[in-house]
Structure 1
Amino acid sequence: MQEQFADCLQACNDCAAECNHCAAACLQEDNVEMMVDCIALDIDCAQACAFAAAAMARNSVHAADICALCADIGQSCGEECIQHEMQHCQQCATVCFNCAEECRSLASSA
């Protein structure tokens, strides 16, 4: 794996883990119906991050394009999570925004 991917790869792995945690925690909330969009975006984001991390690990020629998509999905997930006061959502938003920034940076430098 190239060093140029190190920070983004770590951000994607962290984000995938945090989004999976957030989705599971949202399912335990009293009003799960209110969390449907958050859960769906958490799942999308976790999958996008896993895809991006795998592409970077393989040094895929499509890594930058995949990271650009991951940045968009991470931004959307963060924007949804930040609207909820639960600690798991607030933490997820922070990690999503960081991942989106790292992915945008990598995509623009390619």
Structure 2
Amino acid sequence: MSHEKYQDLIQKLHVCMEACNHCYDACLKEEDVKMMAECIRTDRECADICGYLEQAISRNSPFVSEFAGVCAKICQACGDECKKHDHQHCQDCAKACYECAEACKQVA
């Protein structure tokens, strides 16, 4: 498996990771941080798995499809959590998470 066939997924993983990191940082600055705790937690989980899957693809891991399945699940959960909040950074993150989840499902 060459990573060239995963270019679309790699791009979506990177965009999702950046959106989650931005949302995580912005949520920490919200007035009611406690209300944002679950969003912050899922942002971290999602950014981490997206970054990990991107690395796994680049090193031709034999477990890409398995990691993609886990990544899809986490991206979906993060998108669902972010969608609950009206902040623009949360809405942008949810969109990126859902797009990434769909791309991961195609590989899983």
Q: TM-score range by the shorter chain?
A: over 0.9
State the distance in 1 between where 2:40 and 2:103 align: 23
The residue type equivalent to 1:104 in the other structure is K
Question: Match of 2:86, SS?
Answer: coil
* Residue 60 (structure 2) aligns with: 59
The residue type equivalent to 1:35 in the other structure is M
Which stretch shows the higher mean deviation, 2-11 or 98-107? 2-11
Q: What is the TM-score with the length of structure 1 in the denominator?
A: 0.95
* Residue 10 (structure 2) aligns with: 9
* Residue 73 (structure 2) aligns with: 72
Alignment of 1:21-60 (within 5 A): 21-60=22-61
* Residue 92 (structure 1) aligns with: 93
**Per-residue Cα deviation, 1:27-60 (whole angstroms, up to 9, x for no partner):** 0101000000000000000000001100111111
The residue type equivalent to 2:73 in the other structure is D
Mark the runs of 5 or more structure 1 residues left unpaired by the alignment. Answer: none
* Residue 84 (structure 2) aligns with: 83
Question: Match of 1:60, SS?
Answer: coil
TM superposition shift of 1:2: 2.8
TM superposition shift of 1:106: 1.1
Identity %: 43
Question: Match of 1:31, SS?
Answer: coil
Aligned residues, how many? 107
The residue type equivalent to 1:88 in the other structure is H
TM superposition shift of 1:4: 1.7
Which stretch shows the higher mean deviation, 91-100 or 2-11? 2-11
Q: Report the RMSD for the aligned CA atoms in angstroms.
A: 0.7
Mark the runs of 5 or more structure 2 residues left unpaired by the alignment. Answer: none
State the distance in 2 between where 1:47 and 1:64 align: 17
